A and B are shown apart, each in its own frame.
Chain A
Amino acid sequence: MPEHQIQSPLPGTFYRKPSPDQPEYKAVGDTVDAGEVIGLIEVMKSFHEIHADAAGIISEFLIENEEPVQAGQPVAILST
């Protein structure tokens, strides 16, 4: 199946949950639609949603929760 990488638009810290006591936005194996939120980036004291820019099934997260991420770095792989 063809693969698609979702890239972070920003540098910062990557979060997979909307808040610490809530479930992850998406898990490996979940289906996502284009535009759906898959995580957050924290930078300059604010949080920014990362949206899937294609539809597919999440096959892998490349960045762990609370890990640093750079702009343009792939955070997840979709099977499309």
Chain B
Amino acid sequence: MTIRVIQQGLATTVQDLGRPGYYHLGIPLSGAMDRLALRAANLLVGNDEGAAALEAVFMGPTLEFTQDALVAVSGAEMVPKVDGDPRETWTSFAIKAGQSLSFEFLKSGARAYIAVSGGIDVPVVLGSRSTYALGALGGHEGRPLQAGDELPIGASSGEKGEGVRVAEAHRRGPGNPAELRMLPGLYWHRITEGSGYSFFDDTWKVAPEADRIGYRFRGGKKLEFVDREQPFGAGSDPSNIVDGCYPYGSIQVPGGTEPIVLHRDAVSGGGYFMLGTVISADMDLIGQLQPHTPAKFVEVTMEEALAARKDRQGLLDTIRASFG
């Protein structure tokens, strides 16, 4: 039992909740950029929350099913169509053998999660089915899907039927401007007080280059650095440091001009200073940002970051409970 890829979309990849434990070796977590949306889509079709699904960015694929299945599409508002007939997002629907699944143009958000009952049954690599395309690891042959691919599907649990739905109040997406909460730190002391102020005051815009490795922002004022003699081993630019580890969500600003928030396919270390880290609760929101979307960074304390993480956990518990 398989899904046949008729059109691949822009960059459609197999993703689950990722591959923890190898970041120190340079292999990032990978997995869904919007983890809550992935979990929700899986719950809607009776899968384990961490089953592998398809992540379609900006443009949906066209898929042909060779057997009956239950499908749910969450995350970005990209209306799915069964043989051309629209279906609701965040709601399970049936698809029959021989029918095709395609998508309308993206309306909002950036990444849609397409969960299929039974999950996408590609081989597990280092504990995960997620695709790390830069490292040609996991997923379907270590790469985004291409027309002609055949994806194996696991056995359905049969626990859910059509019309199971995540309530609108439980769906999450970024506002406009998107507000990304961050904990300043790491190398915050490298910029001047004035730049520390302008960084939060400016409205930035998502650069079209933003991808799974990092989300780049531009349009704010160039940051000014506190004068220093560069230490031995650091590059000559004031934004350089002696190489350090890069946390997920860390914000580096090469040359002081364009902040980059490292995301699920992050590189694990390098020689750029970091202003701080976007809190884990807001990482999913970044995965739903389109190019040119306005965004602001909002300073929070560790206590606020932990409270936000707890809220996020609570929301997931609420979604789980709503399905009984």
Contact = CB atoms under 8 A, between A and B. Distances in A.
Interface string A62-80: 0000001011100000000
Interface in B264-297: 290-292
A71 B57 contact: no
A31 interface: no
A11 to B, nearest CB: 5
Interface string B1-32: 00000000011000000000000000000000
A56 interface: no
Interface stretch (B45-53, B120-128, B154-162, B206-214): B206-214
A12 interface: yes
A68 B292 contact: yes
Q: In the complex, which of the residues B11, B291, B292 has the most CB atoms of chain A within 10 Å of its own CB atom?
A: B291
Interface residues of A, number: 15
A10 B10 contact: yes
A7 interface: yes
Given A10-B59, A71-B59, A44 B11 contact: yes
B209 A71 contact: no
A42 B210 CA distance: 11
B105 interface: yes
Contacts of A43: 10, 58, 208, 291
B107 interface: yes
Interface in A16-60: 42-45, 48
Interface string B179-214: 000000000000000000000000000001111000
B106 A13 contact: no
Nearest to A48: B10
A44 B57 contact: yes
Nearest to A42: B208
Contacts, number: 46
What is the predominant secondary structure among interface residues of chain B facing chain A? loop
Contact of B211 (A13, A45, A71, A72): A45
B208 A12 contact: yes
Contacts of B209: 44-45
A44 B10 contact: yes
B105 A13 contact: no
B106 A71 contact: yes
A44 B107 CA distance: 18
Contact of A70 (B11, B59, B104, B290): B290
Contact of A7 (B11, B105, B210, B292): B105
Contacts of B59: 9-10, 71
Nearest to A72: B105
Nearest to A70: B290
A43 to B, nearest CB: 5
Interface string B48-79: 00000000011100000000000000000000
Given A11-B58, A12-B291, 4 more contacts: A10-B59, A12-B58, A43-B58, A71-B59
22 contacts: A7-B105, A10-B58, A11-B58, A11-B106, A11-B110, A11-B291, A11-B292, A12-B58, A12-B208, A12-B291, A13-B291, A43-B10, A43-B208, A44-B10, A44-B209, A44-B211, A45-B209, A68-B291, A70-B290, A71-B58, A71-B105, A71-B106
Closest 9 CB pairs of A and B: A72-B105, A71-B106, A68-B292, A11-B290, A71-B105, A44-B211, A43-B208, A12-B208, A10-B58
